[in-house]
A and B are shown apart, each in its own frame.
Chain A
Amino acid sequence: MSARTPSRSVPLGSVRAPRGTTALDFDPLAAISARGFLIVVATVCLVSAVALTVTTAAQTSSWPLAIGALVALAAGFGWFIRSAFDFTVGVSTDRFATVFALLAVATVLNSLGSLGSNLLVRDDWGLLTLALALMAAAPFRTAAELGLYTGISTALVTVLSLLHVFFSPLTPVPIAVIVLVAVAPVLALGLGAMGYARVLLAGIYAERLAQAEARDRQFDAQRQRFIDDDGVGSIGPLREEVVPFLARLRMAGELTVDDRLRAAELTARLQAAVDGSRPADSLGDQVDVFIDEAELSLRMHEDDRATIRAVLRELNQSPRRTPGTLVLELLEGEEDRFGIIRCSSADVRSLRAEVLPFIRMMRLMMSTASDEVAGDELLLHFDLQRLAS
C-alpha cells in the first residue's frame, strides 16, 4: 500500500464512529491545523471585539461591563488555546464547557454594556465571537456537544436581542426580524460546525477502516512473499543439505554410521542458524550510531517505534544534517527508561525549524518528548513509557 494513496474501499455512508469520539481522537496530527485555525479565530475575535467596542463607543452605556466583556473574551480564548496546546488533556468536554461559559459571559456583558443605547444588535461582537468559537471548536468536540452549545447560544442571543428591543429606543423594525438577524450568525456557524465535526469524523473513521483492510492485504502479501522467497528453507543448511539428506534416508529406510555423524553435524549447524535467525532491529538502519545496551528497542510500543522512525527519516533526509552525526540512544535508568536522538548541523536552528512538525508529532504521540539546541547539536529527548515486559 502506498502511504499517499490510502484505500477507499469503505464507503462513507456505511460507517458510524463510536459515540463520544472526535476526528482528533483518530487523527491527532490534525491538531496541528486545528490549533493554527483556533489562533486565527481567537485573534480575529479579539481584534473585532476591541475594534467594535471603540467604533461603537457612543452606544456603550456601562464601561465597566464593556471592559469586563473584553476580559472574559480574552480569558475564554486564552483557556481555549491553552487547552488545545495541552498535549495530555486537550480540549476536553469539561474544558470546552468552561471556555463556552466564559464566552457566554462575555456576550452577556457586551450586550448589557450597551443596554438602552444600542442602535443595532448586529454590531454586538458577542454574538459573532460566540458563533466563531463554535466553528473553532469543530475539530475538538463532538457534533452532539456542538449542537447543544448551538442551541444554548441561540437561546442566549434570542433573550439578549429581546432585551435590547424592550430597553432601546422605539424602532419600526419588527421584533422577529431583529431576533432573526441576531440569531442567524450563531445558527449558521453552529450548524456549520456540527456538520463539519460529523462529516470529518465519518471520513476519518472510514479512512481508519480502509487502512485496516490495507494492512491486512499488506500482511497477506508479505506472508506470500516470505513463502515464495523460501524464507523457511533459507535457514542455514536446511534447503541445500538437510533436505537432500532426509530425502535420501527416507528412500533408503536405513541409517548408517556415517549418516549418524552427518545428522549430528547438520544438527549443530542448523541449531546455530536457528539461534542466529533473529532479525536485526530496523530502527538501527535509520541512524549512524545506535546505542541500545538494554535492548529496549524491540520491546518498545509499535506506535512509539513508528514515531521515532518518522523523526529519524526526516532528520536523515535533511541536507542541513552533518553527515555521520545522527545518533539514537535508548537508555535504562534505575526507575525510568528514555531515549535521546542527537543530530549535529552547521545551522542547527534551521534544522530544528525544518523538523519542527515532527517534534510536535513526537509530543503528540509521546507526551514527554522535548527538544533542545546545545551548541551545534539538536537533542530530542523522550521517555519510554510503553514497554513490553
Chain B
Amino acid sequence: MTLQIAADVDGRSTSRALATAGSWLAVVFLAATALIVTAFIPVTGRADIVVGIAGLVVTGFAVVAALRTGSQVRAVLYTVAAGLGLALYAFVVAGVSVADAGTAAAPTSDFVLLSMPEFAILVVGIAARSLARSLVLGTLALLVGPGLVQLVAWQQGMRLALDVPVLASWLALVLFVTALWIGRREAARGTAQMLDSALAEERHLAEARFTARAAAWVGDTVLTDLRALAATPPGPLGDRMLQSLDRDLANLADTSLVLSGPEIGASASRSLASVPLLVSVVRAAEQQGLRIRVTGDTEVINGVRPADARNLERAISECLENVRRHSGQIDAEIAVYYSAPEVSVMVSDAGVGFDVDAAGDETVGLRVTVVDSIVETGGSVQIWSRPGTGTAVFMTVPGAPR
C-alpha cells in the first residue's frame, strides 16, 4: 500500500504458508513412522510391511495435495484418499502386531505406530480459505483417518482404546484454526480499510503535487510574461517577448510538458519497495523536506546482516540529517555499490561543505554516529568535504547479494 505496509488482504499468502507448514508436519510424522516400521521388517520377517509403507506414501501425497488445492471438492477427495492409504497401513501393521504378539499381548489400537501417522492426516484442513471449510475438512480427516484406523485395528483383532493424544490434537487444531481465522477476519477488515485510506492519501498527495506544480509553472511563466507586458511601453513586441509568448502558448496547448520532469515524479522511496532499509530512511528524509536521488545496485543492501543493516540505516539517516541541517541544499544522492565481499553506500550533496580536519561540534553527529555505527559492523567510513564543494560520506559494510 502507500505506506510501508504490505497486506495479505485475501489470505492467499497465509493459506500458502499454512499449507507448507502442514506439509512439513505431515511428512515428518509419516517419515518417522515409515522409518520405525521399516526397522520391523527384518525383526518380524514380514515383507508385507512394505505394502503398509506404500499406504503411508499415498497418505503423504494425498495430504500434501489436499493442503495445496484450492478446490474444496478435490480437498475432500484427497482427504478420503489419505484416509484410505492410512487404513491400508493400519491393516498391515495391526495385522503384523497381532500375529506377532498374539491377541492378548498385542498393543491396543492407540499404540504409537498407529497414532503417529494419524497426526499427519489431521492437518488437511488448516490451509482452507474459510473457517467452515477448514473445520469440515479437519473433521472429515478425523473420521476417515483415526476413525477408520480404529475400525481396521478392531477388525484385525486388536483391543480398542481411545486415542487421547490424537483426539486432543484434533481439538487443539480446531482451536488453533478458529483463533487464526477470528484474528485474520479482524485484521483483514482493518487492512482493507487501511488500504483504501492509504490509496486516498496517495491520491490526495498526488493531486496536491500536480496542483502545486501547475501553480508554480503559471507563476514562473505566464504571470511573469503578463507582468512584463503590463510594464512594456505600447508598440511592437520584441523577439524575446514573442518567444516567451510562443513557449507559454505551446505549453498551454499541451500541458503534459508542464507535468513532466523529476520534481513531479514519484518520491524516491516509491521505487525502493524492494529495499526496506532505504525506504525507511529515504521516506523519513523526504518527510523532512529533502529530495533524494538513489542510484546503483540498491538491492545488494538486502544481503547485509540484520545487525549491520541496522547500523547502516542509522549511519545513512545521520548523513541525510547532516545534509538537511548543514549543507544549505535540499538535494542529496545515495549511491549503492557492491564489490565482493563488501557493500558500499555513498551519501553526497553539493552543499556548502566543511573542512574535515578543522570541523567543530556541528559534525560530531557525523563523526560519532556514522563512524561508530559502521566501524561496529567491521566496515569503514571515509568523509570527503571542503568548503564550497559539497560533502560525500563513503561507507562500507560486509555483505553479499542474495
Seen from chain A, the residues whose Cβ lies within 8 Å of a Cβ on chain B are: 1, 3-6, 15-21, 23, 25-37, 39-41, 44, 48, 122, 135, 138, 174, 176-177, 180-181, 183-184, 187-189, 191-200, 202-209, 211-212, 215-216, 218-219, 222-223, 226-227, 230-233, 235, 238-239, 242-243, 246-247, 249-250, 253-257, 259-261, 263-264, 266-267, 270-271, 274, 277-279, 282, 301-303, 305-307, 309-310, 313-314, 357-358, 360-361, 386, 388-389
Contact = CB atoms under 8 A, between A and B. Distances in A.
Interface in B165-200: 165, 168, 172, 175-176, 178-180, 182-184, 186-187, 189-200
B229 A260 contact: yes
Contact of B28 (A21, A191, A216, A388): A191
B274 A209 contact: yes
B21 A192 contact: yes
Contact of B273 (A212, A243, A279): A212
A388 B288 CA distance: 5
Nearest to B310: A20
B229 A279 contact: no
A313 B197 contact: yes
Contact of B39 (A176, A198, A202, A216): A176
Q: Which 7 A-B pairs have the closest CB atoms?
A: A20-B306, A203-B13, A33-B183, A212-B273, A3-B195, A208-B6, A36-B183
A238 B218 contact: yes
B2 interface: yes
A388 B205 CA distance: 14
A34 to B, nearest CB: 7
Given A29-B187, A188-B25, A357-B189, A302 B205 contact: yes
Contacts of B211: 231, 277-279
Interface of B: 1-10, 12-14, 16-18, 20-26, 28-29, 32, 35-36, 39, 112, 116, 119, 165, 168, 172, 175-176, 178-180, 182-184, 186-187, 189-208, 210-212, 214-215, 217-219, 222-223, 225-227, 229-230, 232-237, 242, 245-246, 248-249, 252, 255-256, 258-259, 264, 266, 270-271, 273-277, 283-284, 287-289, 301-307, 309, 402
B289 A388 contact: yes
Contacts of B193: 310, 313-314, 358
25 contacts: A19-B303, A26-B4, A29-B194, A32-B186, A33-B179, A184-B28, A188-B24, A195-B23, A200-B17, A203-B16, A204-B7, A204-B13, A205-B6, A207-B7, A222-B207, A226-B207, A232-B218, A232-B258, A267-B223, A277-B211, A303-B4, A306-B194, A310-B198, A313-B193, A357-B189
Nearest to B305: A19
Contacts of B6: 26-27, 204-205, 207-208, 211
A255 to B, nearest CB: 5
Contacts of A261: 230
B227 A215 contact: no
Given A18-B302, A40-B176, A266-B226, 8 more contacts: A20-B305, A20-B309, A36-B182, A177-B39, A200-B13, A211-B273, A216-B270, A239-B252
A19 B8 contact: no
A253 B237 CA distance: 6
Contact of A17 (B287, B302, B309): B302
A184 B179 contact: no
Given A19-B302, A188-B24, A36 B309 contact: no
A266 B200 CA distance: 35
Contacts of A181: 32, 36, 112, 116
Contacts of B202: 215, 218-219, 302
A233 B259 CA distance: 12
B204 to A, nearest CB: 5
B186 A33 contact: yes
Given A19-B303, A386-B287, A235 B236 contact: no
Contact of B236 (A219, A254, A260): A254
Contacts of B301: 18
Contacts of B39: 174, 176-177
Contact of A44 (B112, B172, B264): B172
B204 A196 contact: no
A279 B5 CA distance: 26
